[in-house]
């Protein structure tokens, strides 16, 4: 997920050179950015706010830290993208190595392991391509069995264990599992007996080792292959940049260097996660807003980091889905994710350093807005009002069919334009910049200027949060009062809708640390404003769009009458 920390690991080598234990703790990453520290988790656990301050958000506070940045390659052709990568000046003179990775994941028919947030897989590593990919084929190579135990998570911070054992054949080894916490899940062996293969990932991995790149050592891994489940497949085409040593700035510098030549999309969805989605036939499913888990005593800057992490993931997960899916909800959720990011930026602005504006995202955001307007026209406005319009007879049916055909044609064009923007290096570079800006917040809390702005309110979290929500509520009330006056301009009414959105998103972000009635009341009020004003706005937008598409005048006049009638009812009330 999106944030600032990857699990800490302790590599405990056993007597067998191919058996080791990895104990992991904490999971909060940033736009696919993953940090791993080789430090064993203390048995004495601290409150979340302390962990965030002392372990999560202090950049490179621990030694032997690993950082990994995952980048999808939207719009790329698998047959030519490797050549483009090899042609990059930063990689052109580096020696590469290729290996073939075959992963087979196991679970029960009820997906017990997934429900327990555990995973069990077999991996075959080979230096040569496989002779077959047919079902039942067992590839030649080095086989490794991996068990990942159930972890805990709070606000993106999680603890997890991982145990690996070498196996001599391509089948599970129950004896090796007994040396792990598997026994706590499966004391009687019934779970192991119910295991079955559920999906596979197969890819060719090409790696480059960059030594002394801006003072850092970085591994670049290019994966091309597929995820296979239930007779369906999903392509794998992505980069992983892993920082072996050196400053984080070098990793972002490399990511930006690549992004300025090749379109990238930061996204942290693991291959295993995508595999489970594939088994359900729900690949590219829309990702909706998630609750942000905050400690009651969390500081404003810590809350900001968690909010940016969640909203960034909300945005990028849906952008990833849009590369291959036409689901209108992906467009909607991507826009919501960005609006939540902007709301977080305003909400925490008293404690934040100057944040970049990221002009490079404007073309993408513009295309999202244009496509969303057409989606709302087609799927919401006309779906609601066409039945009444069609009561006028068969001629109106012909008019409606013609209008829908033109709308769908316009949607297809806008969708192609949107994907063109996703495949633009400018977009990827801007998204990497967002990731870097979030990561750089890690050092903000210790600066004198930010400390002065906090004014000692960390111990009274509800107070600083309450102050910000009070400001939002007053702004919304003033905007609603102005827009309710007779003859108020449309722009003023629209502004009240934007204020309502900001208030709602802020209330949802801080709901955990606010008194229950404070956040929920404001969220309900803001949602009601959004719904009422939004319906009128959608009708106005529908009329404008239908005119631009040369729709029949009778359909436009009908919707104009609906809008006028709604306005008269609102004036009466």
Domain boundaries, the chain: 8-131+141-279, 300-572
Question: H-helix or E-strand containing 23?
Answer: strand 19-25
- The CA-CA-CA angle for residues 316, 318, 324, to 5°, reads 115
Residue 38 has pLDDT above 50, yes or no: no
| Mean pLDDT, residues 514-520 taken together | 82
How many other CB atoms are found less than 10 A from the CB of residue 214? 15
Residue 135, pLDDT score: 73
Residue 66, pLDDT score: 40
How many other CB atoms are found less than 10 A from the CB of residue 164? 19
Residue 263 has pLDDT above 80, yes or no: yes
Q: How far is 334 from 366, CA to CA, in rounded Å?
A: 12
For residue 139, what are its two tokens? 């590839």
Beta-bridged to residue 159, according to DSSP, are 25, 152
For residue 442, what are its two tokens? 């890690």
Q: Which of 196, 275, 277, 282 is nearest to 228 (CA)?
A: 275
Beta-bridged to residue 239, according to DSSP, are 71, 222
Question: H-helix or E-strand containing 148?
Answer: strand 142-148
Residues 6 or more apart in contact with residue 456 via CB below 8 angstroms = none
Residue 271 has pLDDT above 60, yes or no: yes
Contact 30, 241 (CB under 8 A): no
Backbone φ and ψ of 131, nearest 5°: -80, -20
Residue 232 has pLDDT above 70, yes or no: yes
Beta-bridged to residue 204, according to DSSP, are 100, 224
Least confident range from 7-11, 30-34, 65-69, 204-208: namely 7-11
For residue 383, what are its two tokens? 């779906």
Residues 6 or more apart in contact with residue 90 via CB below 8 angstroms = 210, 213, 254, 257, 258
Beta-bridged to residue 229, according to DSSP, are 232
The full 3-state SS of 336-391, as one line of letters, equals: HHHHHHHHHHHHCHHHCCCCCCCHHHHHHHHHHHHHHHHHHHHHHHHHHHHHHHHH
How many other CB atoms are found less than 10 A from the CB of residue 498? 15
Q: Which CATH number fits domain 8-131+141-279: 2.40.320.10, 3.90.380.10, 3.80.30.20, 2.40.110.10?
A: 2.40.320.10
Q: How far is 437 from 430, CA to CA, in rounded Å?
A: 10
Confidence of residue 357 (pLDDT cuts 50, 70, 90): confident
Residue 566, pLDDT score: 86
Could you give the percent of the chain with pLDDT greater than 70?
A: 82
Domain 300-572 matching CATH 1.10.1740.110: the answer reads: no
Residues in the chain: 573
Contact 422, 74 (CB under 8 A): yes
């Amino acid at each position: 997920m999106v944030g600032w920390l990857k699990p800490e690991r302790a590599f405990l080598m056993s007597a067998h050179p191919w058996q080791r234990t990895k104990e992991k703790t904490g999971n909060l990453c940033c736009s696919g950015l993953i940090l791993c520290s080789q430090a064993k988790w203390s048995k004495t656990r601290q409150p979340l706010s302390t962990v965030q301050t002392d372990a999560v958000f202090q950049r490179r506070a621990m030694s032997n830290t690993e950082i990994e940045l995952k980048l999808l390659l939207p719009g790329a052709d698998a047959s030519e993208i490797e050549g483009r990568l090899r042609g990059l000046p930063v990689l052109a003179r580096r020696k590469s190595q290729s290996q073939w990775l075959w992963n087979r994941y196991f679970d029960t028919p009820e997906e017990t392991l997934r429900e327990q947030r555990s995973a069990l897989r077999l991996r075959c590593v080979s230096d040569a391509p496989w002779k077959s990919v047919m079902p039942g084929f067992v590839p030649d190579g080095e086989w490794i069995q991996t068990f990942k135990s159930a972890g805990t998570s709070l606000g993106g911070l999680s603890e997890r264990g991982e145990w690996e054992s070498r196996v001599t054949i391509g089948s599970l080894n129950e004896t090796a599992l007994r040396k792990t916490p598997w026994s706590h899940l499966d004391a009687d062996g019934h779970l192991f007996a119910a295991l079955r293969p559920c999906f596979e990932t197969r890819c060719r991995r090409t790696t480059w080792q960059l030594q002394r790149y801006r003072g850092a050592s970085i591994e670049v891994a290019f994966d091309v292959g597929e995820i296979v489940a239930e007779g369906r497949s999903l392509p794998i085409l992505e980069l992983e940049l892993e920082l072996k040593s050196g400053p984080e700035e070098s990793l972002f510098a490399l990511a930006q260097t690549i992004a300025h030549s090749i379109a990238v999309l930061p996204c942290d969805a693991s291959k295993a996660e995508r595999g489970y989605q594939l088994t359900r036939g729900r690949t590219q499913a829309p990702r909706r807003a998630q609750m942000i888990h905050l400690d009651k005593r969390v500081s404003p800057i810590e809350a900001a980091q968690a909010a940016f992490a969640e909203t960034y993931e909300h945005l990028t997960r849906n952008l990833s889905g849009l590369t291959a899916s036409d689901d209108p909800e992906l467009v909607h959720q991507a826009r919501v994710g960005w609006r939540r990011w902007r709301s977080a930026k305003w909400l925490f602005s008293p404690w934040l350093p100057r944040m970049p504006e990221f002009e490079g995202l404007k073309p993408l955001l513009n295309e999202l807005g244009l496509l969303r307007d057409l989606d709302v026209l087609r799927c919401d406005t006309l779906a609601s009002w066409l039945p009444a319009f069609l009561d006028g007879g068969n001629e109106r049916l012909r008019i409606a069919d013609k209008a829908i055909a033109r709308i769908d044609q316009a949607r297809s064009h806008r969708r192609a334009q949107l994907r063109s923007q996703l495949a633009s290096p400018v977009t990827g570079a801007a998204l990497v910049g967002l990731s870097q800006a979030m990561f750089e917040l890690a050092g903000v809390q210790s600066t004198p200027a930010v400390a002065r702005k906090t004014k000692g309110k960390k111990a009274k979290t509800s107070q600083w949060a309450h102050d910000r929500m009070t400001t939002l509520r007053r702004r919304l009330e003033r905007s609603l009062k102005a827009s309710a006056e007779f003859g108020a301009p449309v722009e003023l009414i629209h502004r009240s809708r934007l204020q309502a959105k900001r208030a709602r998103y802020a209330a949802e972000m801080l709901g955990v640390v606010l008194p229950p009635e404070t956040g929920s009341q404001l969220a309900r009020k803001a949602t009601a404003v959004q719904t009422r004003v939004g319906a009128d706005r959608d009708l106005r937008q529908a009329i404008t769009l239908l005119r631009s598409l040369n729709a029949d005048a009778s359909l436009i006049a009908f919707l104009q009458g609906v809008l006028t009638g709604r306005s008269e009812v609102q004036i009466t009330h």
